[in-house]
């Protein structure tokens, strides 16, 4: 470890200020290829030689190649493939005999694999769940061919609708089948007894009857069918079974099984349930209104991290004590216990690459890591009492040792005014010109005001005049007369010398169609030629937009453009209903023409 610390500390130095840091950077390997959760990390003296090893239930990159890894110092000691993804790892003492080497338990799927001396020792499988008797009955009938597949399907669907006990996979699969496939499926599967199997979601240990450090412990399992099981450490029989309203995700236990214990289970429905020894059902319930991401007990306080980027402290009766906001979302949590100083604190690994250590509400320390932290574990490693194991999202492994002189002091974090208070306000500066203008306004304010008012009135007058003129001569493209409410919109396309002119004419009246309209183009005949300068408009149905297309040939080769006037007229009237002036573009196709 010492050698490693000298060679690897360079990379770690960037993140933590070496001199003031409470931690020694023992090891950092960004390519350690360890992908795991805090629940799959365990530290234990597996060989009884006083050298603590790190047990990692590794999910493998992308959850593809699960492996059991045992690390000694910075190197992997042994590595063996696992049959399925590990959900949790724990070390515990199975019996009183010497040598007192702890066993390793690995929960995976429906089984717990127990190792002693790193050799396979025992496999515990969860008992099968009792199948629904009605379902069982139906399949028995199918076996004897007393029921046809269609009736079977109907009956099974009926069970699914109402029954308390869910159907087995076999039945569910059957219900998905098409009519043609049913027969084959039934004949293939009818002889098999239906089964319901559940899986382990979480696991922890609970002292059996002594509170000592090295006392025999039971395994506590949380299962997918919303149950908690306590296993006997020697016989692996189920000592106790408790049911929860939801699936447990994290467990936290205190006390001894034979005396009195408290079990806190954070569940998938966002609640934390607290059970006691003699309760088959939860005694207290903490509703978080968000998903819990970690559950740690510090002395008598339950610390829950929630997806709302906050840590909450609760009493063991479920009363809320405090809340601390985090700067980023919490990814994992674990307990930090510095036995020599009697300190217990919560570590929270955050998405922004920080590990924050809290004692109740007080922030004790922040460790910055180069990547988002996926799992944390603190304890004795090798021969060093206070070691922190961190794994990061990219598969990196960081080992830090707490300096022996380090003392965590409360209020080491942010207290006092927030740093932003010391920053200057960015008040926009004003220029010399502004000041000059201000002075001028003071001197000649009245004159400025009068000039402005006069100009404003003139502007309004001109606008009004122009508007009246437009209305009088129907120069505007929208006609609002009661008889012919029309809207005209013209588009010119092309580069020239030939352009396409499209008039979009719309009858905006609610119900009345318009008949007998004419369109007339007025243009300079020297510059432009149109195939038809005058044509009739078809009947205009209200609401529809009629595109009327015509081609315009530019005759001039001097690059001049002109205005084409479009007039919409009513048959028999000389004054146009509306008109539009089209600014023709300059023909760019002269060379080609």
Q: What is the arrangement of strands in the sheet containing 119-125, beginning at the earlier edge strand?
A: 86-92, 103-108, 111-116, 119-125
| Contact pick of 3, 31, 423, 433 for other proteins (by CB under 8 A) | 423
Collapse the DSSP code of 33 into the 3-class scheme (helix H, G, I; strand E, B; otherwise coil) and give the result.
Answer: coil
Q: How far apart are CA 430 and CA 440, in angstroms?
A: 16
Site for other proteins in 7-66 (CB under 8 A): 37, 59, 62-63
Candidates 10, 56, 14; CA nearest to 33 is 56
Map the footprint of other proteins across residues 449-468, applying CB under 8 A: 449-450, 452
Judging by DSSP bridges, how do beta strands 119-125 and 111-116 pair with one another? Answer: antiparallel
Between 307 and 481, CB nearer to other proteins: 307
Which of the residues 119 through 138 are near other proteins (CB under 8 A)? 120, 122-123, 125
| By the rule CB under 8 A, 590 interacts with other proteins | no
- As measured in angstroms, the least distance from the Cβ of 449 to other proteins is 4
- Give the nearest distance from C-beta 409 to other proteins in angstroms: 21
The tokens for 81 are 């493939």
Q: Binding residue for other proteins (CB under 8 A) from 293, 390, 486, 569? A: 293
Tell me how crowded residue 137 is: count the other CB atoms within 10 A of its CB.
13
Residue 166 tokens, joined? 């869910």
Q: Which of 2, 154, 178, 424 binds other proteins (CB under 8 A)?
A: 424
**CB-based contacts of 591, cutoff 8 Å, min separation 6:** none
Site for other proteins in 534-553 (CB under 8 A): none
Q: What is the DSSP letter of 131?
A: P
Rg of the chain over all Cα atoms, to the nearest angstrom: 41
# of chain residues touching other proteins (CB under 8 A): 83
Binder of other proteins out of 160, 277, 359, 380 (CB under 8 A): 160
Q: Does 470 bind other proteins (CB under 8 A)?
A: no
Q: Which stretch binds other proteins (CB under 8 A): 89-97, 145-153, 318-326, 499-507?
A: 318-326
CB atoms within 10 A of CB 8: 18
421 binds other proteins (CB under 8 A): yes
CB 53 within 8 A of CB 45: yes
170 binds other proteins per the rule CB under 8 A? yes
For 38, 82, 146, 508, the CA distances from 87, given in Å and listed in that order, are 10, 11, 43, 69
> What are the residues whose beta carbons fall under 8 Å from the beta carbon of 160, sequence distance 6 or more?
166, 167, 171, 172, 175
Q: Which stretch binds other proteins (CB under 8 A): 50-58, 233-241, 328-336, 478-486?
A: 328-336
237 lines the binding site for other proteins (CB under 8 A): no
The token pair that represents 546 in the structure block: 């009629």
For the chain, the helix, strand and coil percentages under 3-state DSSP, each to the nearest 5? 20, 45, 40
Nearer to other proteins, 80 or 96 (CB): 80
**Residue number, 283 or 512, with CB nearest to other proteins:** 283
Per CB under 8 A, the list member of 47, 72, 143, 189 interacting with other proteins is: 189
Q: Should residue 412 be labelled a site residue for other proteins when binding is judged by CB under 8 A?
A: no
From 243, 438, 473, 524, residue interacting with other proteins (rule: CB under 8 A)? 438
- Does residue 268 interact with other proteins by CB under 8 A? yes
Choice between 169 and 563, CB closer to other proteins: 169
Among 435, 478, 541, 586, binds other proteins (CB under 8 A): 435
Q: Which two tokens stand for residue 162?
A: 């109402």
77 near other proteins, rule: CB under 8 A: no
> Which of 41, 82, 364, 390 touches other proteins (CB under 8 A)?
82
Pairing outcome for strands 200-207 and 119-125: unpaired
What is the arrangement of strands in the sheet containing 517-522, beginning at the earlier edge strand? 534-537, 517-522, 563-570, 578-583
Fill in the per-residue mask, 341 to 380: x = in contact with other proteins (CB under 8 A), - = not in contact: ----------x----------------------x------
> Whole-angstrom Cα distance, residue 344 to residue 566?
87
Residue with the two structure tokens 């919490």 = 330
442 binds other proteins (CB under 8 A): yes
């Amino acid at each position: 470890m010492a050698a490693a610390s000298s060679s690897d500390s360079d990379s770690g130095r960037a993140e933590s200020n070496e001199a003031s840091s409470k931690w020694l950077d023992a090891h950092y390997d960004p390519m350690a290829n360890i992908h795991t959760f805090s629940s799959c990390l365990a530290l234990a003296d597996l060989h009884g030689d006083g050298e603590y090893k790190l047990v990692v239930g590794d999910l493998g990159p992308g959850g593809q190649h699960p492996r059991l890894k045992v690390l000694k110092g910075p190197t992997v000691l042994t590595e063996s493939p696992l049959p399925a993804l590990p959900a949790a790892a724990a070390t515990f003492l199975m019996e009183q005999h010497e040598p007192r080497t702890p066993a390793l338990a690995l929960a995976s799927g429906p089984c717990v694999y127990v190792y002693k001396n790193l050799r396979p020792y025992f496999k515990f499988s969860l008992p099968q769940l009792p199948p629904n008797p009605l379902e069982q009955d139906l399949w028995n009938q199918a076996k004897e061919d007393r029921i046809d597949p269609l009736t079977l399907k109907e009956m099974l669907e009926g069970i699914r609708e109402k029954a308390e006990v869910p159907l087995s996979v076999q039945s569910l699969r059957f219900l998905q089948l098409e009519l043609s496939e049913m027969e084959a499926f039934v004949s293939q599967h009818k002889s098999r007894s239906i089964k319901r199997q559940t899986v382990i979601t979480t696991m922890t240990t609970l002292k059996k009857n002594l509170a000592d450090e090295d006392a025999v412990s039971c395994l506590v399992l949380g299962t997918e069918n919303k149950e908690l099981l306590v296993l006997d450490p020697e016989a692996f029989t189920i000592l106790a079974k408790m049911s929860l309203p939801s699936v447990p995700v994290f467990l936290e236990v205190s006390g001894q099984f034979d005396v009195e214990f408290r079990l806190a289970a954070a569940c998938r429905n966002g609640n934390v349930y607290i059970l006691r020894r003699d309760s088959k059902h939860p005694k207290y319930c903490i509703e978080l209104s968000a998903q819990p991401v970690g559950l740690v007990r510090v002395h008598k306080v339950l610390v829950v991290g929630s997806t709302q980027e906050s840590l909450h402290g609760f009493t063991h009766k479920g009363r809320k004590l405090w809340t601390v906001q985090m700067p980023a979302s919490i990814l994992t949590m674990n307990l930090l216990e510095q036995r020599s100083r009697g300190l217990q604190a919560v570590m929270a690994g955050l998405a922004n690459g920080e590990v924050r250590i809290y004692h109740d509400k007080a922030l004790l320390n922040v460790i910055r890591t180069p990547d988002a932290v996926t799992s944390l574990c603190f304890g004795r490693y090798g021969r060093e009492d206070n070691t922190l194991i961190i794994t990061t999202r990219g598969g990196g492994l960081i080992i830090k040792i707490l300096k022996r002189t380090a003392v965590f002091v409360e209020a080491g974090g942010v207290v006092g005014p927030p740093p932003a208070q010391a920053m200057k306000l960015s008040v926009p500066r004003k220029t010399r010109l502004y000041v000059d203008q201000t002075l001028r306004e003071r001197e000649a304010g009245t004159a400025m005001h009068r000039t402005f008012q006069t100009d404003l009135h003139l502007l309004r007058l001109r606008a009004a005049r122009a508007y009246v003129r437009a209305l009088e001569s129907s120069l505007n493209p929208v006609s609002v007369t009661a008889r012919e409410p029309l809207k005209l919109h013209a588009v010119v396309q092309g580069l020239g010398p030939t352009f396409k002119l499209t008039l979009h004419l719309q009858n905006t009246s609610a119900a009345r169609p318009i008949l007998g309209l004419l369109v007339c183009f007025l243009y300079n005949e020297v510059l432009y030629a149109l195939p038809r300068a005058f044509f009739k408009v078809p009947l205009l149905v209200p609401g529809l937009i009629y595109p009327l297309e015509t081609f315009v040939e530019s005759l001039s080769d001097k690059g001049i453009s002109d205005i084409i006037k479009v007039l919409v007229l009513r048959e028999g009237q000389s004054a146009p209903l509306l008109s539009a002036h089209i600014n023709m573009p300059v023909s760019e196709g002269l060379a080609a023409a």
